Structures are given as structure tokens and as C-alpha cells.
A and B are shown apart, each in its own frame.
Chain A
Amino acid sequence: AQSVTQLGSHVSVSEGALVLLRCNYSSSVPPYLFWYVQYPNQGLQLLLKYTTGATLVKGINGFEAEFKKSETSFHLTKPSAHMSDAAEYFCAVSGGNQGAQKLVFGQGTRLTINP
């Protein structure tokens, strides 16, 4: 079984500041991990994913995340926030390649960017 905990339902940062969104997971099998972003009235857009290999993964729009097995974490970061980053962000885990379509999502973190 898998589960995801996103720490902080709301995060607010200033434009140009570091963005850090926290995600911890639990999985009984080697996990596949994902970050998705959702803008108002839209579906989910994939930011980045970790399956195997390099633990630091880079995604779109300047985001990156690091898989830390010992800490069961997959935190999302961006060095400098832009106003366009304001959205809701979801961390998700799946049970590897056997269940890749069955994602378990965290509750989401709403990111607000202050000018």
C-alpha cells in the first residue's frame, strides 16, 4: 500500500524567493514518485517524476525534486518563485511499473506568490 503526506496545505512565498514544498511517502514496494501542478479550472500537469536512477530530478518551469529513500521524502524546490507559479501542487506515488496508472495523491499544497 502507498500513502503520501504533503506538509502544509498552504505555502506563501515572495516573488524571487525559494519555493520548497514538502512531500513524504510510504510504499511497500519501490515507489515511483511524481509532482503535478493544477491551475484553476484545469486538469493536472506533470512537473517531474522519479522512477529509478538519479535521485535528483529536474522538471519543467525550473522545478526540481530529490528522492531521499532514507527519509522517505520527495520535496519539490524552485530557486526563484515567479508569479505564474501560483497554483496547487500535488505529490503522488504509484506502486512501480505494475501499478503505474493507480496514483495515490497527497492532499495538495496551494502555493501563493506575493509580489
Chain B
Amino acid sequence: KAGVTQTPRYLIKTRGQQVTLSCSPISGHRSVSWYQQTPGQGLQFLFEYFSETQRNKGNFPGRFSGRQFSNSRSEMNVSTLELGDSALYLCASSETGANVLTFGAGSRLTVL
């Protein structure tokens, strides 16, 4: 089975722009979660989607949003980018009822 695939792997944006990151889960996995990793705040939970519905949300401003499609692929969007949004964004998927996440390699966002 292919792993969790995230695109793009690297991107550079400027303040005020918006960005969309994509995540393709492992085939058959219906739950997709997103995490932000920064040197200062560490790994923080953003949100989780299951069957196209947001099931859990972390403590992030409304500029951070996501969605999940019927094929379980997920996207997250960050609008009005700030310097502090520079981070590695990790996507993880899991099987229904499972308690283990499989992570992708991440999308590294740099905001200038």
C-alpha cells in the first residue's frame, strides 16, 4: 500500500497570501488529521475529518480550515498568511476504529 502522500512538499508564500495543502490518505483510511509543527510550539493538532465531516478541531484561528472529499483526500487552507504560520504541516490517516495514526512526510511552508 502507498503511504500518506502530501503535496506540495515545500512552498514559499508571502504575508497576506493564502495556501492550500493536499493530503491523500492510505487507501481504505477514512480518517484524516492535520498537525502543525513549529520549533516554538512543537506539534499541535489542527483538525480531524472523517467521512467528509470535521470531527475534532484544535485551538487555531478561523484562518485555518480544511475539508475532506468523498474519496477521503483532504485539503487544508490557510488564509491571510502570517510569518508565524511558517511550519511543517503534517497529515495523518487512520483506519476506522483504529487508534494509530500513519503520518505523511509533511508540507513545509515558509512565509516571507
Contact (Cβ within 8 A) B99 A43: no
Which chain B residues lie closer than 8 Å to A43 at the CB level? 4, 90, 103-106
Contact (Cβ within 8 A) A102 B98: no
Contact (Cβ within 8 A) B99 A51: yes
How many B residues, CB 8 Å from partner?
Answer: 25
Query: Interface code B60-104, partner A: CB below 8 Å = 1, 0 otherwise?
Result: 000000000000000000000000000000101010011111111
A102 contacts which of B45, B97, B106 (Cβ < 8 Å)? Answer: B45
Contact (Cβ within 8 A) B56 A90: no
Which chain B residues lie closer than 8 Å to A32 at the CB level? 99
A103 contacts which of B31, B98, B101, B102 (Cβ < 8 Å)? Answer: B101
Contact (Cβ within 8 A) B100 A49: yes
Place the interface of chain A in its size category: 20 to 34
Among A19-27, A65-73, A77-85, A104-112, the one that faces the other chain is A104-112
What is the bound-complex CA distance between A42 and B3, given in angstroms?
A: 13
User: Is A45's beta carbon under 8 Å from chain B?
Assistant: yes
How many Å from the CB of A110 to the closest CB on chain B? Answer: 12
Chain B, residue nearest A107 (CB): B42
User: Is B33's beta carbon under 8 Å from chain A?
Assistant: yes
Which chain A residues lie closer than 8 Å to B55 at the CB level? 101
What is the bound-complex CA distance between A32 and B98, given in angstroms?
A: 12
What is the bound-complex CA distance between A94 and B56, given in angstroms?
A: 13
What is the bound-complex CA distance between A32 and B8, given in angstroms?
A: 32
With A44-B101, A51-B99 known, 19 other A-B pairs at CB within 8 A are A32-B99, A41-B105, A42-B105, A43-B106, A45-B103, A46-B100, A46-B101, A49-B100, A99-B56, A101-B56, A102-B33, A102-B45, A103-B43, A103-B101, A104-B45, A106-B42, A107-B42, A108-B42, A108-B43
Show the binding face of B for A, using Cβ within 8 Å: 4, 31, 33, 35, 42-45, 48, 55-56, 58, 90, 92, 94, 97-106
Show the binding face of A for B, using Cβ within 8 Å: 32, 34, 36, 41-46, 49, 51, 90, 92, 94, 97, 99-108
